[in-house]
Amino acid sequence: MRKGKKLLVKELIKEGLEYDIRKKLVEKVVSSINKHNLVCIHGQLGVDIREIVYRALDMIGVKTVLYIDRGDMNSFHKVISRVKRMVERETINKSLNVYVVIDNMYLNKSILNKIKTRILDSYPAKLIVVAPYRINHNLVREYNGEAIEIKPLTFREYLQFKGYGLETFPLDYQKLKMLYIEHIELSKEFEGYLTSGGLINLIGREYRNKREYIHTIGEILEKMLNLSIQLSKKRDYELMKSLISYLYLNPGMHIYYNKLSEMIGRDVRSLTNYLKNAHNTYLILQLRNVATGRKRARSNIKIYPYNYILTYPIHLGRIEDEKYIGKALEGLIARTIDAKYFWKRGGKEIDLIWNRNGEDIPVSVRYMKRLSRREIKKVETGFRKMGAKRGVLVSRDIFDYVNNEVEIFIIPIWLFLLMV
């Protein structure tokens, strides 16, 4: 079969099978289930967690699986009691492992302790927890379990899912220039990627009109909001919706709790808890300011939508706003490069810190049609004040290179996302 371009080719998969981007992940889940009695698979709604779990169990060859769905109203602790009764009945006069899938489950220290003492210490059971919540991996390891997070597809994974073969995209100007020229058509594929938000359940789905598309995303957002308030003792749906609406209206905003409290009309303690719950249900992404210490005050927090498509049902009219969508896509970049920090000191700010092979590379995002020399100079000054020798300026369409006091790679967003 003739192959086209040097580093990036679109090719047919043997025997007509679609490229299976999830295969390695399924194999990882299989390995975890074989090694541990407690495995948690978690991620944002829409990433197809259940399908991965079922395929893993099929690969192991499990004939019988007990399944329990927590539902919307059952408490997490009551579910453990129900699972115990199910396992107890199944293990009478049997020594083989009983496989149990617990769906829609949140794990904290109290719940994990109950799972260990009431089930795992007493019965030959393997528990597979499917969770649309963030899970503390270190905490799960303390209970001899393992947690695997499934994220929305990156742009690279999206292309692989569609049948593209990808090589490594280096941070080298000459090589990147060649890739940019040869594969400029991938900017069109990027538009399709943005429509799905990287969610497996939305990729390839056809919509009759824009209204149906927004309605589908709105259903996902509604479920996530409900998941979030279930983590609170006082289930205030209107508070959570108001908070998320305000945050989605201002992607990349710095959190000042007293000011936010005045805006929303609720006390700081409630807002703190609800922000924590929004983070744990993949509604928001949080970054901390590395310039003032990685463990410093909570006021050094910047917040983005975890998935930019969730902003559409709330602020549909702003989708065409270049500045707004640029800030929302900043969150996409942060999620893709797994950014944890930004940098701000005085009046200078660097949007994201990209840890690449042990090197902290500053990343500034300027999603605009034109980049003025003044704008590039401002970015260069920020990089220099941070003490960086090189950095990346992510643009909308422009590819360029500047090397004065600091080496700056100006890279279109679609190309930059293929470097990760």
Instruction: Report the distance separating Cα 245 and Cα 305, nearest Å.
Output: 10
For position 17, what pLDDT does the model report?
Answer: 37
**CA–CA distance from 327 to each of 171, 257, 307, 333, 334 (Å)?**
23, 21, 12, 10, 11
Residue 167: how many CB atoms within 10 A of its CB?
A: 12
Instruction: Report the distance separating Cα 344 and Cα 363, nearest Å.
Output: 12
Listed in sequence order, the DSSP H helices in 265-349 are 268-280, 322-336
Residues of the chain under the 70 pLDDT cut: 1-20, 72-73, 93-95, 292-299, 317-319
For position 258, what pLDDT does the model report?
Answer: 86
For position 210, what pLDDT does the model report?
Answer: 87
**CA–CA distance from 413 to each of 30, 282, 329, 397, 420 (Å)?**
35, 23, 9, 7, 12
pLDDT tens digit sequence for 223-268: 999 999 999 888 889 999 999 999 999 999 998 888 888 888 888 8
Q: Residues 6 or more apart from 19 whose CB is under 8 A from it?
A: 13, 160, 161, 162, 163
Residue 238: how many CB atoms within 10 A of its CB?
A: 8
For position 16, what pLDDT does the model report?
Answer: 34
Q: Please, is 335 exposed, middle or buried when counting C-beta atoms within 10 Å of its C-beta (0-12, 13-18, 19+)?
A: buried
Q: Please, is 124 exposed, middle or buried when counting C-beta atoms within 10 Å of its C-beta (0-12, 13-18, 19+)?
A: middle
Q: Give all domains of the chain, ordered by start, each with its CATH number.
A: 23-150 (3.40.50.300), 157-419 (no CATH)
For position 102, what pLDDT does the model report?
Answer: 96
